[in-house]
């Protein structure tokens, strides 16, 4: 980076070298392979969702229509809310699918589709995976859910490439047009607000409460499996979902970013130039550190799922807890609490992007998140192990 474009300036104590003027916009050019690929992906994923929504709302193309969709949703335990959820699910798939195809409000539309498919996967957990094995199998839900998850970083990259602007107000935002390595790092910052907590809450809050909804806990406990094994399996499934969400988003963001901005060196938060290969390793490590607070959120979701015995209450409770912690972080006069808030720990990965690496925020995040996660997981396990299912 040339000296006439930057000067050393500490932004909020980060040591980030700030640009003296906004980076020059790269001209918008046609990239046949990337642009056609994104277009086909938009048409495939958005078109499938649009067709599913039309089947639910309009009853065309062999669809169920609203009445039979309501009955199907009620069969998964949403009896009181079945009619509302039938319309909501159908409209979201219909409208958001069309928006993805047309490229209108695509990030918001993709987020809505992702939420719909996460719920579908969770409520169908335990049925056969492949569609040939059962009519309510997980196969299509998983494929569409992953497609929607992949669309979020892809659309983000396409928006950056077409608009030419950079999110200069966040760390690494000014480098998104210089190297693809900056894309997943910027998404980690944006995803902490709602994306990853939402995905984690949807899974963690439902995974045990679903047994109450389906009244299957007694059946499970009659098998030759100990209660602690069941709880461990539920917890492991929740953590696996969290890992998969971050891995998919990070990988797609990295690939799309490299295609758009190249596999080039990146400037660390200390203002030093990091080679592309070293930067790639640091991005991977950052994704791993990001899992620390996500795991704590998963533990809290498991606690609510075990105590409330209601999926909606547990999911909303987990998400509200995450948002409440973020709200405390922006209230004036509470700055002394910031180092101990769970929301602050989402930024621990930035210590890896300094020269030399600053391990203190990572270590700090480990013990702070442990204070949130371990007690929540322990209480959830205790409640689950001592639960009297005979009286349920």
In the prediction, which pLDDT does 214 show? 65
pLDDT, position 360: 95
pLDDT tens-digit profile of 338-372? 999 999 999 999 999 998 899 999 999 999 999 99
Burial of 22 (0-12, 13-18, 19+ CB in 10 A): exposed
Question: Looking at the predicted structure, is the pLDDT value of residue 118 above 70?
Answer: no
Query: Tokens 């995974």 identify what position?
Result: 207
DSSP-derived 3-state class of residue 274: strand
For 285, the token pair is 């490590």
Pairwise pLDDT comparison (231 vs 171), residue with the higher score? 231
Alpha carbons 144 and 150: distance in angstroms, whole number:
10
Rounded to whole angstroms, the Cα distance separating 86 from 390 reads 33
- Please tell me the distance from the alpha carbon of residue 22 to that of residue 189, in angstroms, as a whole number: 21
Separation of CA 270 from chain center: 28
Tell whether the model's pLDDT for residue 10 goes beyond 70: no
Q: Which residue has the higher pLDDT, 287 or 146?
A: 287
Give the separation between CA 174 and CA 257, rounded to whole angstroms.
14
At residue 81, does pLDDT exceed 70?
no
> Average pLDDT of the chain?
75
pLDDT score recorded for residue 382: 93
Whole-number Å distance between alpha carbons of 305 and 307: 6
Query: Which residue matches tokens 């592309």?
Result: 276
Share of the chain above pLDDT 90, in %: 20
Whether the CA torsion 120, 122, 128, 134 is positive or negative: it is negative
Strands in 246-361 per DSSP E: 266-267, 273-274
Question: Which of 60-64, 182-186, 374-378 has the highest average model confidence (pLDDT)?
Answer: 374-378
Which pLDDT tens digit goes with each residue over 307-333? 988 777 887 888 888 888 888 888 888
pTM of the model: 0.65
Predicted local confidence at residue 85, as pLDDT: 66
Residue 28: other Cβ atoms inside 10 A: 10
Positive or negative CA dihedral for 252, 257, 259, 262?
negative
Q: From CA 352, how far away is CA 339, in angstroms rounded?
A: 18
Q: What is residue 22's DSSP assignment?
A: P
pLDDT of residue 130: 41
Taking the C-alpha atoms of residue 365 and residue 269, their distance in angstroms, rounded to an integer, is 19
How distant, in Å, are the alpha carbons of 166, 171, 269, 350, 384 from that of 13? 21, 12, 10, 12, 45
Whether the CB-CB separation of 207 and 245 falls below 8 Å is answered with: no
Task: Return all residues near 3 (Cβ < 8 A) that are at least 6 apart.
Answer: none
Of residues 68 and 321, the one with the higher pLDDT is: 321
Domains of the chain: which residue ranges?
30-165, 167-392
Q: Are 369 and 295 in contact (CB under 8 A)?
A: yes
Q: pLDDT at position 127, please?
A: 47
Residue 266 pairs in a beta bridge with 274
- If pLDDT is split at 50, 70 and 90, which confidence band does 129 have? very low
Q: Is 103 exposed, middle or buried (0-12, 13-18, 19+ CB in 10 A)?
A: middle
**Residues 267 and 175 sit within 8 Å (Cβ to Cβ):** yes
Instruction: Mean pLDDT check: name the lowest of 75-89, 98-112, 179-193, 209-223.
Output: 75-89
pLDDT score for 297? 93
Ranges of beta strands (E only) in the chain are 6-7, 18-19, 266-267, 273-274
Tell me what pLDDT residue 159 has.
72
- Residue 144 Cα to chain centre, angstroms: 15
How many Å from the N-terminal Cα to the C-terminal Cα in the chain? 66
Distance CA 367, CA 197 (A): 19
Contact between 254 and 178 under an 8 Å Cβ cutoff? The reply is no
């Amino acid at each position: 980076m040339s000296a006439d474009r930057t000067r050393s300036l500490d932004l909020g104590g980060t040591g980030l070298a700030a640009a003296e003027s906004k980076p020059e916009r790269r001209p918008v050019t046609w990239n046949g392979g990337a642009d056609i690929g994104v277009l086909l992906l938009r048409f495939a994923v958005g078109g499938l969702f649009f067709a599913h929504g039309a089947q639910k709302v309009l009853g065309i193309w062999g669809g169920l229509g609203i009445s039979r969709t309501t009955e199907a949703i009620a069969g998964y335990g949403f009896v009181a809310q079945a009619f509302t959820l039938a319309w909501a699910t159908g409209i979201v798939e219909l409208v958001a699918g069309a928006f993805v195809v047309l490229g209108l409000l695509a990030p918001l539309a993709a987020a809505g589709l992702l939420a719909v498919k996460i719920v579908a996967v969770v409520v169908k957990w335990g049925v056969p995976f492949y569609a040939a094995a059962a009519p309510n199998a997980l196969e299509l839900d998983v494929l569409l859910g992953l497609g929607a998850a992949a669309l979020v970083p892809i659309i983000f990259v396409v928006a950056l490439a077409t608009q030419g602007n950079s999110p200069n107000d966040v760390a690494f935002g000014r480098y998104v047009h210089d190297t693809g390595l900056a894309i997943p790092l910027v998404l980690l910052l944006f995803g902490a607000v709602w994306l990853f907590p939402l995905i984690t809450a949807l899974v963690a809050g439902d995974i045990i409460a679903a047994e109450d909804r389906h009244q299957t806990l007694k059946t499970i406990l009659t098998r030759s499996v100990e209660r602690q094994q069941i709880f461990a399996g539920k917890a492991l499934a929740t953590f696996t979902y969290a890992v998969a969400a971050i891995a998919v988003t990070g990988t797609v963001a990295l690939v799309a970013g490299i295609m758009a901005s190249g596999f080039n060196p990146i400037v660390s938060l200390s203002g030093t130039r990091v080679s592309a290969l070293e930067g790639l390793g640091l991005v991977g490590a950052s994704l791993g550190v990001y899992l620390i607070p996500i795991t704590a959120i998963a533990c809290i979701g498991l606690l609510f799922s075990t105590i409330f015995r209601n999926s909606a209450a547990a999911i909303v409770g987990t998400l509200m807890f995450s948002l409440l912690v973020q709200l405390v972080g922006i209230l004036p006069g509470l700055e002394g609490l910031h180092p101990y808030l769970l929301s602050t720990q989402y930024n621990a990965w930035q210590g890896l992007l300094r020269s030399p690496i600053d391990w203190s925020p990572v270590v700090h995040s480990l013990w702070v998140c442990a204070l949130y996660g371990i007690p929540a997981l322990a209480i959830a396990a205790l409640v689950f192990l001592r639960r009297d299912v005979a009286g349920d």
